[in-house]
């Protein structure tokens, strides 16, 4: 809810309170006071209704602009692992418009820093799409420059994310559709972490 919406609601309640006070303290007939109070109540109710509609419009505008914290994608498939004292989460997301995202989040949920020790002379991570056991797409083969980063220390309760977009097409530029298996690989010095799950493309 917007701050101005809250202020307007407070103002509407104040109008009702003032109306009640005037009706109880002022002159005139009881009937006319009641009619006036009912009219004020109706006006305040209309104000609140208008504010609610405006809030809904503003909330939708925030979503459209990507400023609401919701980016239009939802999680279609996910997998997780715990390796070297780190929580690793793989997610495959889609937005219903033929656009997808692969994400690996590495989180240190401990109270002290932990090293993220990548395999030497290797990609840090990669993403894949398989159908019926056949590889349809691989991030590192689709002109993506996946950065090879040095090892680093991840501070307590912090997360490092690796995200790659996908347009829903295979390595031959044909649209992939139907049930598939999506995979994420994290290449650590202690071994390759494979995370995967089913997804409907």
Query: What are the pLDDT digits (tens) for 137-172?
Result: 999 987 666 778 899 999 999 999 999 999 999 999
pTM score > 0.85 for this model?
Answer: no
Query: What are the pLDDT digits (tens) for 7-23?
Result: 455 454 454 444 444 44
The predicted pLDDT at position 121 comes to 80
The predicted pLDDT at position 120 comes to 86
The predicted pLDDT at position 62 comes to 46
Residue 24 has pLDDT above 60, yes or no: no
Give the whole-angstrom CA distance, residue 201 versus residue 94. Answer: 9
Q: Find out whether 113 and 156 touch, Cβ atoms under 8 Å.
A: yes
The predicted pLDDT at position 134 comes to 97
Residue 3 has pLDDT above 70, yes or no: no
Query: What are the pLDDT digits (tens) for 26-78?
Result: 544 544 555 555 565 555 555 555 544 545 554 454 444 444 456 899 999 99
């Amino acid at each position: 809810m917007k701050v101005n919406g809250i202020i307007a609601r407070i103002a509407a309640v104040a109008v009702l309170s003032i109306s009640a006070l005037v009706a109880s303290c002022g002159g005139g007939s009881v009937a006319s006071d009641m009619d006036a109070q009912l009219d004020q109540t109706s006006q305040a109710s209309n104000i609140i209704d208008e504010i609610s509609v405006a809030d809904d419009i503003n909330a939708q505008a925030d979503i459209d602009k990507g400023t609401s914290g919701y980016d239009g994608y939802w999680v279609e498939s996910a997998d997780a692992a715990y390796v070297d004292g780190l929580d690793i989460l793989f997610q495959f997301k889609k937005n219903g418009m033929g656009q997808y995202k692969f994400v690996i989040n590495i989180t240190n949920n401990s109270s002290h820093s932990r090293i993220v020790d990548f395999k030497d002379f290797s990609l840090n991570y990669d993403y894949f799409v398989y159908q019926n056991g056949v590889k349809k797409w691989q991030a590192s083969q689709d002109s993506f420059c996946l950065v090879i980063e040095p090892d680093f220390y991840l501070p307590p309760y912090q997360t490092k994310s690796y995200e790659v977009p996908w347009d829903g097409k295979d390595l031959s530029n044909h649209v992939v559709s139907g049930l598939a298996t999506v995979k994420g690989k994290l290449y650590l010095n202690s071994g390759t972490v494979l995370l995967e799950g089913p997804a409907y493309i």
